Amino acid sequence: MITGREPNIIRCMEPEIAAKQEAARLAAEARHAAEVEKLEQQIFLKYLKGRRAEAKLWFINPLGHKPSTIEPGHPDFTIWVKGKCFCIEMKAAGGKLSKEQENAISCLQGLDHEVHIAWNAGQATRIVEFYLSVLTTSKNDKPKFND
């Protein structure tokens, strides 16, 4: 029976072995977070494509399977709705912004552009829906996009 009083197996290891185990654990967590972030981005991308098909917005998102030509650190999604442009950076729970991302976000905000951090597709969707509800367009006023 585990009572919480048993020693942690890592504490029983030699320091160099424990350090390797800790490094392996952290690497596995990072890989998992990247997979979760990619899945959440794919879900959000499907939502955005649907809204673009309705002529509600336009967006850009670098392809994840190819090297990007977009400046390093630029947020994952740049989205235009009527009269407004904003960006969304997606992170998995526990994810951290890189130095390039912090610099890009700071620069964009300095230029009066809004940048949001979303931790999942649902949160990113709510951000977009907020802008669409605030900046409602009439049916005669819809922009036309070619897909």
Domain CATH code at residue 30: 3.40.1350
**What pLDDT is stored for residue 3 in this prediction?**
62
Domain that holds residue 119: 9-141
Position 18 pLDDT exceeds 60: yes
Alpha carbons 11 and 141: distance in angstroms, whole number: 66
Is residue 114, in this structure, part of any structural domain at all? yes
Is residue 147, in this structure, part of any structural domain at all? no
Is residue 54, in this structure, part of any structural domain at all? yes
Amino acid at 49: K
Query: Which pTM does this prediction carry?
Result: 0.74
Number of domain units in the chain: 1
Average model confidence (pLDDT) across the chain: 84
Position 145 pLDDT exceeds 60: no
Under 8 Å between Cβ of 92 and 45: no
Is residue 2, in this structure, part of any structural domain at all? no
Is residue 80, in this structure, part of any structural domain at all? yes
Is residue 4, in this structure, part of any structural domain at all? no
Structure tokens at 75: 């947020």
Tens of pLDDT, residue by residue over 38-78, are 899 999 999 999 999 999 899 999 866 667 778 889 999 99
State which H helix or E strand residue 22 sits in. helix 15-53
Position 133 pLDDT exceeds 80: yes
